[in-house]
Amino acid sequence: MNPIKKNKFSIIFNHDGYVELAEYIENNNFKKILILTDDNSKENCLDIFISSLSATNNQVSNLIDSSLFYYSVKPGENSKNIETSIEVWKFLIDKGFKRSDLIINLGGGMITDLGGFVASTFMRGVKFVNVPTTLLGMVDASIGGKTGIDHREIKNIIGVFEFAKIILIDYRFLNTLTKRQKTAGYAEMIKHSLICEKSEFDMIKKVDSVDEIPHEMIYKSITTKISIVDIDPHESSIRKFLNYGHTLGHAIESYLLGSNTELLHGEAIAIGIVLESYLSYLKTGFDFEQVNDIKRYINKHFSSVKFSDSDIYEIINLLKYDKKNSDDKAMFVLLKDLGEPLFNQVVTAKEIVDAFKFYKD
Ligand code: GLY
């Protein structure tokens, strides 16, 4: 698979990724390297990662033998907070890490967001590499320089933009995921297909099972994201398109966080996509047949979630804390057509309630 090389970062695939990372480690002569994992990626991916990196050449094998440190956190969004960040900073201080050292984030979106944040703020910035182990991480979270943590139930409210130097994508890690995790990542691929080109959603719809997503399709999803981030890395304009499904998706995710119906990020985004497709129909005249088609396809892959009137009220209340909003108004990305997103669209609370009704029916 062709590498994607940009000024600020490179995305390298499979064996080539390990060769590139080995060279990067040798050339920079890092004295200490932290591998940050969660307990899942530690158990399922760490050995594959270390043995693949060591196998690239003897020199790097010796180098990493003497310089590697490990830190693992509990899996799940609940770890993406200031307390965990403090634990990792403390570990780095105790082990004598310097600004000239390296952090490798091996895990899903929670780890690359948290690890990127910890790295970017430790001693005003330590270099970091992302090795996404989930589908969501591969197509979205590990790419594009967004790092951050949640605080007071608000997703990603604290964070900085800083690019990982290398993003190493090893498709073997997809085999370590549960169907639920793959499906959640697939939501971001569906989102990319809706905002990208008219024909892309038709391609996505050909996928019957998340166990059979062609790697070419994952690659295409990555290039969609990069084509946007390249033009607008700091989200002053078109990067907002990537928030399709996220205004309500984030509010739903935050609302259910810690409850016994807690959703994975992608599962909340899938609901957000249905709701915001309906809002698109209300506000921009997006074809209702397309909206139904999107809903049908999402319902085929994701279980439906029930929301009471008071849940919906609380979710709408959470919107005002969303970073995407200004002037206390909920700002949405809506579709005028497939592949034709519009940002900064204002929607009323009543329209959101109607969208939940559409989702439920
Ligand atoms: N996940 C949306 C973005 O990276 O902008």
pLDDT in tens, 269-296: 999 999 999 999 999 999 999 999 999 9
Which among 80, 250, 283, 301 is annotated as catalytic? 250
Q: How confident is the model at residue 258 (pLDDT cuts 50, 70, 90)?
A: confident
* Cα 260 from Cα 44, distance rounded (Å): 26
Which atom of ligand 1 sits closest to the CA of residue 242? Answer: 2
Asked if residue 269 and residue 127 are part of one domain, the reply reads no
Q: What is the CATH number of the domain that holds 302?
A: 1.20.1090.10
Over range 53-74, report the average pLDDT: 91
H-helix or E-strand containing 241?
none
In a domain, 95, yes or no: yes
Q: What is the CATH number of the domain that holds 96?
A: 3.40.50.1970
Residue 56: pLDDT over 60? yes
In a domain, 254, yes or no: yes
pLDDT, residue 16, reads: 97
Asked if residue 139 and residue 11 are part of one domain, the reply reads yes
In a domain, 36, yes or no: yes
Q: How confident is the model at residue 65 (pLDDT cuts 50, 70, 90)?
A: confident
User: In total, how many domains does the chain have?
Assistant: 2
Residue 165: pLDDT over 70? yes
**Comparing 96-105, 218-227, 250-259, 336-345, which segment has the lowest mean pLDDT?**
250-259
* Cα 191 from Cα 228, distance rounded (Å): 13
Q: Whose CA is nearest to atom 4 of ligand 1?
A: 144
Asked if residue 227 and residue 146 are part of one domain, the reply reads no
Residue 162: pLDDT over 70? yes
Which residue range(s) make up the domain with 107?
A: 4-176
Asked if residue 76 and residue 50 are part of one domain, the reply reads yes
Is residue 207 within 8 Å of 182, Cβ to Cβ?
no
Cα-to-centroid distance, 183 and ligand 1 (Å): 18
The residue ranges of DSSP E strands in 136-295, in sequence order, are 149-151, 154-158, 166-169
Asked if residue 165 and residue 300 are part of one domain, the reply reads no
Final residue belonging to a domain, choices 176, 204, 234 = 176
Tell me if residue 124 is catalytic. yes
Asked if residue 134 and residue 43 are part of one domain, the reply reads yes
Cα-to-centroid distance, 242 and ligand 1 (Å): 5
Q: What is the mean pLDDT of the chain?
A: 95
In a domain, 215, yes or no: yes
Query: Regarding predicted confidence, which is higher, 239 or 198?
Result: 239
Which among 80, 243, 267, 301 is annotated as catalytic? 243
In a domain, 181, yes or no: no
Quick check: CB of 140 below 6 Å from ligand 1? yes
Share of the chain above pLDDT 90, in %: 89
Cα-to-centroid distance, 298 and ligand 1 (Å): 20
Asked if residue 298 and residue 152 are part of one domain, the reply reads no
What's the full length of the chain, in residues? 361
pLDDT, residue 198, reads: 87
Is residue 278 within 8 Å of 361, Cβ to Cβ?
no
Tell me if residue 225 is catalytic. yes
In a domain, 250, yes or no: yes
Cα-to-centroid distance, 203 and ligand 1 (Å): 22
* Cα 323 from Cα 257, distance rounded (Å): 18
Residue 185: pLDDT over 80? yes
Quick check: CB of 144 below 6 Å from ligand 1? yes
Asked if residue 101 and residue 203 are part of one domain, the reply reads no
Asked if residue 201 and residue 132 are part of one domain, the reply reads no
Amino acid letter, residue 211: D
Q: How confident is the model at residue 322 (pLDDT cuts 50, 70, 90)?
A: low
pLDDT, residue 296, reads: 97
Is residue 301 within 8 Å of 325, Cβ to Cβ?
no
* Cα 313 from Cα 295, distance rounded (Å): 22
Cα-to-centroid distance, 135 and ligand 1 (Å): 14
Quick check: CB of 109 below 6 Å from ligand 1? no
Tell me if residue 250 is catalytic. yes
Final residue belonging to a domain, choices 176, 196, 226 = 176
Final residue belonging to a domain, choices 128, 154, 176 = 176
Asked if residue 251 and residue 162 are part of one domain, the reply reads no
pLDDT, residue 74, reads: 98
Residue 71: pLDDT over 60? yes
In a domain, 183, yes or no: no
pLDDT, residue 323, reads: 53
pLDDT in tens, 108-136: 999 999 999 999 999 999 999 999 999 99
In a domain, 182, yes or no: no
Residue 324: pLDDT over 70? no
Query: Regarding predicted confidence, which is higher, 162 or 326?
Result: 162
Amino acid letter, residue 172: R
Which atom of ligand 1 sits closest to the CA of residue 188? Answer: 1
Asked if residue 125 and residue 8 are part of one domain, the reply reads yes
Asked if residue 229 and residue 116 are part of one domain, the reply reads no
Quick check: CB of 249 below 6 Å from ligand 1? no
Is residue 31 within 8 Å of 40, Cβ to Cβ?
no
